[in-house]
Structure 1
Amino acid sequence: MAKPNLPVFNSPEEQFQQLRKLIIERIIVLMDSNFSSLINLLYRADVDEFKLKKALAENPDNPAEIIADAYIQRQLQKIETRKKYRK
């Protein structure tokens, strides 16, 4: 996949939304073309399988967004854990 050129935004929220959109697009591509790579990515990122399955069961209309949000949430948790134990 080609690396996109991300535009400069005025606020961190705009940056976050653009990044979220990009992740959703990539997840859609993986869902359509290489589902095993998507599963592998989620496994390596240590996304909670049971929480993800529950979220997908509750809202099956937008799976790419749910998967992206779970992935982002896990990455943010990792950052917080590293900050906590770095001190």
Structure 2
Amino acid sequence: MTPFLVIQAIVIGVAVAASLVYACRRLMPATSQRWQGALASSLSASSRPATLRAIGKRLQPQAAAGGCDSGCGTCATGCSPTSAADEQPLQFHERSRE
């Protein structure tokens, strides 16, 4: 194989891997966060070198923060999800046939 073909295969492999990661995060967010957490906890093990532990710490998924105006409506602070009054119905108009 020529060096060009090796570089081409590497670039295509990186593009396919990035596309796969993006699709998983968009289509399966809970599963991808679970996988990310598992990877982060395995890298953060005390038996790993310091550099891998640092990478594992950075890969730790963010906890869901539900504050006011988040729309969750589960806390007792008095905030609630978006009310139905804010929603507007769709209105369809016929086109004129001229």
TM-score tier (shorter): 0.3 to 0.5
Pair member with larger Rg:
2
**Higher helix proportion, which one?**
1
Structure 1 length-normalised TM:
0.36
Structure 2 length-normalised TM:
0.33
